[in-house]
Amino acid sequence: MSENGKGRQRAGMKGKPTHTTFAKMAINKKFDKEYKKRERTNLSLDETTGKWFFDIQIGGKRYKRVIGEKRREAEEALAAFKAEKMREKYLGIKPEKEAISFADFSKKYLEHPSTKEKLSFTRDKQMIDLHLAPFFGDFLFSEINSDHIGRYTRRRGGEKTWRDTITTGATINREVALFKAMVNRAIEWGDLESSPVNWKRIKPLYEEPRDRVLTQEQALKLIDVADKDKSLIRPFLLVALNTGLRKSEILGLTWDRIDFQRHELIVKRRKKRAGKDPYTRIPINQDAIDAIKDLPRISNYIFCHRDTGERVGSIYRAFQTACKRAGIEDIRIHDLRHTFASTLNAAGVDLVSIRDLLGHSSTKMTEAYIKPFSTNMRRATDSLAGLYVTPRREETPGEATDKAADEAAEKTRKEDVSVETPGPQTDYIQ
């Protein structure tokens, strides 16, 4: 059979070809070409992980699945997934998936390369290991609903931290946000069909705003106290107050990421994306440069243990000791970042520049970091003094004499009235 005959047979046409037949064959061929073109766009390669994934929309619902490193496997997985959805739609046959527990998915989540690239990986791992996994670990991931989340938040609200303080609403909100991120990844990776939690029912807890920043006097006193300590707290404070970097960013600094000639730091502030550099250059002043140069080069990490050269994981105890010696209470390491932003704002630096230095995605977040100093607020109110008060006009000598005469006359009149007025009468009964 000729090619035209095969084409007519696929098109369901019989007899001799006509102009209409050729037109329908051309339309079918064009449709097949466009359909295959759309099929190819469903598959993509993640340059970060080197794995293929498909992203399709069926029945108004979007499905995204990560497959593997071979394109052939991704194509087969896509075809199998479409066939599965067709059987479910037209035949009502739902596939039986192997249920996964929250504990098992937690391990999978923490071992994934995209998770390890997060700047908050250390904190996320602590929240999962210490709080989320002990509470949800025995549950199947697909069985955790809104009621379980509510029970978790109520239980965490009454717990004490290792610092012997009550867990704040902000901490619980971060843990619930991490759980939601894990649900989204489970759907993306095919471990969940849809979210088992109705997030509209989950209301965030109240977060008490913090407006704690260091004044210049407190900062100088803290640095002076830290200067007597042999730990790394003094250079840490100088770098934090002069750069506004996060604690993890400071402790993760390496010597090869500092440009001493251009006075710049190279900091990793975003996940690696295709065609985008995850590292950002930040200008630093001479004070921060001198503080870094005073540290010995033991390893590639700037803040490292002197005996092993390993990176310092926490500087909390040294910071609290310095604050106690300086007589400063209710201050956190992250408040140094707020102090940096507030100091720049008081110096007249524009909001966009502060946003870029802090690495924020929007100025709205930067505004939450800026707290006005009490001295600036006093100066602001004092600047209004005299604006709405009319200055008093000085009296002339003649006006002063007339005023004194009027006051004397008024006094005499009151005395005359008091003399003429009879006192109360008393009747005596015999």
The pLDDT tens digits of the residues spanning 395-415 come to 666 666 766 777 777 777 766
CA 382 to CA 372: how far, in whole Å?
15
Q: Are 25 and 7 in contact (CB under 8 A)?
A: yes
What is the pairing mode between strands 51-58 and 61-68?
antiparallel
CA 341 to CA 241: how far, in whole Å?
9
- Domain end, chosen from 91, 113, 141, is at 91
pLDDT of residue 333: 92
Closest CA to 12 of 26, 25, 30: 25
Q: Are residues 170 and 229 in the same domain?
A: no
- Tell me whether residue 408 is in a domain: no
Ranking 8-12, 153-157, 305-309, 366-370 by mean pLDDT, the lowest is 8-12
Q: Quickly list DSSP for 136-185.
A: HTTSBGGG--HHHHHHHHHHHHT-B-TTS-BPPHHHHHHHHHHHHHHHHH
The set of residues, in sequence order, having a beta carbon less than 8 Å from that of 102 and lying 6+ positions away, is 132, 133, 136, 137, 138, 139, 140, 141, 144
Within the chain, what is the greatest distance between any pair of CA atoms? Answer: 154
67 membership: H or E segment, kind and range: strand 61-68
Q: Provide the percentage of residues in the chain whose pLDDT is more than 90.
A: 34
Token couple for 245: 């970097």
Residue 371 belongs to domain with CATH number: 1.10.443.10
The set of residues, in sequence order, having a beta carbon less than 8 Å from that of 118 and lying 6+ positions away, is 124, 271
Closest CA to 265 of 353, 359, 334, 336: 359
pLDDT, one tens digit per residue, over 193-247 is: 888 898 888 898 888 777 789 999 999 999 999 887 777 999 999 999 999 999 9
Closest CA to 161 of 140, 205, 131: 131
- Tell me whether residue 96 is in a domain: no
Q: Are residues 255 and 283 in the same domain?
A: yes
Tell me the pLDDT band of 337, cut-offs 50, 70 and 90.
Answer: very high
Q: Which residue is associated with the tokens 């909001």?
A: 351
Q: The domain containing residue 136 runs over which residues?
A: 102-201
pTM: 0.60
pLDDT of residue 353: 92
- Domain end, chosen from 356, 378, 400, is at 378
Q: Are residues 259 and 117 in the same domain?
A: no
pLDDT of residue 417: 55
Closest CA to 221 of 318, 292, 322: 322
Q: Are residues 155 and 182 in the same domain?
A: yes
Tell me the pLDDT band of 129, cut-offs 50, 70 and 90.
Answer: very high
426 membership: H or E segment, kind and range: none
